[in-house]
Amino acid sequence: MTDLVLSDRSLDALKLDAVIVGVASRDDELVVLEGAEQLDPDALVEMLVALGAKGSDGEVTKTVLPGGPAPVVIAVGLGALGGDDAAHPEPIDTERVRKAAGAAIRATKGMSHVAITLAGVNGEYDAELVQAVGEGVMLGGYTFGEYKSEQPKASELPATRVSVIVDKARATANTSALKRAVKISEAVAMARDFVNTPPNDLYPDSFAKRAKALAQQLGVKTEILDERRLASGGYGGILAVGGGSDRKPRLLRLSWTPTGIKRGTPSVALVGKGITFDTGGISIKPAAKMDLMKTDMSGAAAVMAATLLVAALELPIKVVATIPLAENMPSGSAYRPADVVTHRGGKRSEILNTDAEGRVVLADAIARACEDGPDYLIETSTLTGAQVVALGERTAGVMGSEEFRDRVAGAGTCVGEAAWPMPLPQDVRDGMKSKTADIANIGTGPGGMLAAGHYLKEFVTDGVQWAHIDIAGPSYNSGGAYGYVAEGATGAPVRTILHVIEDILTAG
């Protein structure tokens, strides 16, 4: 990843290939944001206007400014400035800065050293904005080329070094903010790497072992249950879904319990769906786009990365992740429609569709997670195609305990991982009645995302505040890069989970 450093030195002293500056629009006029005073802003605006720059969100314009501190100036748009006072416009929020930094860094391919001055407006070098710049740079420049025979050339990669220009008066706060940005970005990149890895290399056992190796570096305890221990532990859902594959299922547990936790601090359980490849099983999927089903473990990757991020930040709160891992394949040993599965804890579900397998493995994991007596439970998964139908590819659906559901959805929106609270209507639950078991694994009518939420709710212990984040769409970007989101895995909702955990730590 890009080497990210703070600097309060003059741009002339840094020997730069380019300088990244923020521009915006105000009353249909292009303005250069504070922080670019060393570049002759008036001359720069004249040059950019001649090139057609508007300052709109994510717009990137390259130009040459004679006599400047670098051969190239990269102007990135942050949209329209609000506020009634032209001299003191409304501050630019962190998400706009994060997106702008991500868009700008992709314009630095082939460069060695660039500086970025996206510090906000009116010279306000807020630490949160510095963190946003750092996250945008690192996540926007993310690439995954592990399986290419020829590694990308320097001319195809973003700048290797980025100096974030800041005010020396806030050096301590800014240094902490940038270090935090690096740790968060590394965790998101970790989740992206897992999701982008092809399924012949990432399967239940290899996922668990890779996660264990990473966890050991941070003092996070691990436990891996193989098929024999799953059977003796009553994990019928995980065994059923994974029974059709030669690559046997696993249950991965990651535990962060640091010393120094204050008495009364709530504990948090995390659960993430880890279907390392999903054919649909006997209820097999169409061939078109089945390759994207390597991403059906995005929830597991996010939960793993979020747990390790909590450890990397040394947060004084107990977090335990329970991650069911299975490959859903059709074979003579695969589970069938009409089977009845006995879950951890004894509840039984009738299988009407083997392609609704995520909730079947999650049921076991949720039941196990609740045995620890957590105060909060956050679960995330690529659960339903219905989420994409309802909310599109960039907005997650959140279900669960109403107050906590809204809190989690708000956290997602706050960090730039859009989320929307969804209801759990009783009529949808009524459509999931089974004549032979406690519940059917699909409903009889529309509202597939809500039916999945009801199914998961059945396994949450009373009194535990819980939320499910359906990331079927937001977990993967099949189009071109935008903002700080690269093509491929997005790493959602790692940052949402972190925000919620830190909010619990602060407010309970």
In this predicted structure, the answer to whether residue 143 has a pLDDT above a threshold of 90 is yes
| pLDDT > 70 in the chain, percent | 97
Domain count within the chain: 2
381-427 pLDDT per residue, tens: 999 999 999 999 999 999 999 999 999 999 999 999 999 999 999 99
**Global confidence as pTM:** 0.96
Task: Give Cβ neighbours of residue 76 (< 8 Å, ≥ 6 apart).
Answer: 20, 21, 22, 23, 58, 59, 60, 61, 100, 101, 103, 104, 107, 118
Q: Look up the domain containing 10 and give its range.
A: 3-166
- Positions annotated as catalytic residues are 285, 359
- Which of 134, 166, 198 represents a domain boundary (last residue)? 166
Reported as type and span, the H/E element at residue 455 is helix 448-457
Looking at residue 122, what is its pLDDT?
42
Do both 152 and 243 map to the same domain? Answer: no
Task: Calculate the average pLDDT of the chain.
Answer: 94
Q: Are residues 402 and 322 in the same domain?
A: yes
Does residue 86 register a pLDDT over 90? no
What pLDDT score was predicted for residue 367?
Answer: 98
What distances in angstroms separate CA 448 from CA 312, 342, 351, 388, 443, one per listed residue?
37, 22, 15, 11, 7
3-state DSSP assignment of residue 51: coil
310 pLDDT above the threshold of 80: yes
- CATH number, domain containing residue 295: 3.40.630.10
- For the cut 50, the answer to whether the pLDDT of residue 123 exceeds it is no
Residue 10: pLDDT over 90: no
Res 28: pLDDT: 86
270/158 same-domain check: no
161 lies in the same domain as 223: no
Which pair of structure tokens corresponds to residue 119? 């510090």
Per DSSP bridges, beta strands 29-32 and 18-26 are: antiparallel
Q: Cβ distance 199 to 277 under 8 Å?
A: yes
Contact 237, 364 (CB under 8 A): yes
Is 46 in the same domain as 147? yes
The pLDDT tens digits of the residues spanning 23-81 come to: 999 888 999 887 777 888 899 999 999 999 999 999 999 999 888 899 999 999 999 98
Q: Nearest CA to 298 among 321, 272, 325, 268? A: 272
- Please write the tens of the pLDDT for every residue from 421-477: 999 999 999 999 999 999 999 999 999 999 999 999 999 999 999 999 999 999 999
pLDDT 10s digits, 481-501: 999 999 999 999 999 999 999
Of the candidates 215, 224, 204, the one whose C-alpha atom is nearest the C-alpha of residue 319 is 215
Which domain-ending residue is among 132, 166, 200? 166
In the structure encoding, which two tokens stand for residue 121, read together? 């407006």
